[in-house]
Amino acid sequence: MFIMQRKKVLVITAITAVSALMVLSFKPIDQQQEPKKLKNIKVYPATATYKEVDRAMDVFKADLGVHCDYCHAHSKENPKKMDMASDENPIKDITRDMMRMTDEMNKKYIGNIPHADTVKVQMVTCKTCHRGAPKPFGQPPVYPKFPGPPPAGNQPPLPPHDK
Ligand code: HEC
Ligand code: HEC
């Protein structure tokens, strides 16, 4: 009888100890790992977080109708995995220029449209042009060239002034 009770006490103690350990070692999921760090960012501001960049990537994917590996390279060690920080895929740098271009269009031109009368000026995004395709227009469109300065070194003579 006494032995039985001692066994019971032992078992209960063991269960209590294990549960206590489980409770002590439990941490909410977001504290278990360090937040992921960005490794090779050249266009997004230094303040951008991994989460924000990751969310922006889903938008790129949708706006161009492509998968992540259209712009990103596969890992050299394990080709089944992606190496998002690598610049091996040349499309990634083309995209960086596209980001700079889009930003400049908005800052320099679109953002300057006076909009005191309406809500908010509509900014240019990747989707404005791409609309679900990496090559937005298929065939190059045919339209009259913008009047602008001709390429340097190839200037036609100025038309005569009548004065
Ligand atoms: C249209 C091209 C494009 C697509 C599609 C794309 N990415 Fe990116 N991604 C980029 C570019 C460009 C950068 C670097 C931005 C910079 O330099 O500021 C980048 C950066 C990243 C980074 C940061 C890597 C680091 O640590 O430096 C991650 C993570 C990432 N992409 C994940 C993804 C995922 C996941 C997908 C698919 C859902 C995806 N990307 C789709 C172009 C793309
Ligand atoms: C003003 C229109 C416009 C905007 C805005 C724009 N693009 Fe583009 N993009 C183009 C055109 C035009 C091409 C050239 C397609 C070709 O090679 O014939 C192109 C090419 C690309 C390519 C290369 C495709 C390939 O297979 O060679 C990528 C990637 C790309 N854009 C991503 C983006 C992303 C991401 C954004 C937003 C940050 C963006 N673009 C914004 C017009 C635009």
108-123 pLDDT, tens per residue?
999 888 876 666 778 9
Cα of 130 vs centre of ligand 1, distance in Å, is 17
Structural domain contains residue 67: yes
Q: Is residue 29 part of a domain?
A: no
CA pair distance 73, 87, nearest whole angstrom: 7
Residue 81 lies in a domain: yes
CA 90 to chain centre: 16
Determine the structural domain holding residue 123 and report its residue range.
50-130
Question: Residue 143: inside a domain, yes or no?
Answer: no
Rounded to an integer, what distance in angstroms lies between the CA atom of residue 113 and that of residue 106? 10
Lowest mean pLDDT among 47-61, 64-78, 92-106, 110-124: 110-124
73 lies in a domain?
Answer: yes
SS3 assignment, position 156: coil
**Ligand 1 neighbour 84 (Cβ under 6 A):** yes
Tell me how many domains the chain contains. 1
In angstroms, rounded to a whole number, what is the distance separating the alpha carbons of residues 160 and 144?
A: 24
The Å distance, Cα 12 to ligand 1 centre, comes to 53
- What distance separates the 2 farthest-apart alpha carbons in the chain? 126
Protein residue with its CA nearest to atom 43 in ligand 2: 129
pTM passes above 0.85: no
The residues near 39 (Cβ < 8 Å, ≥ 6 apart) are 85
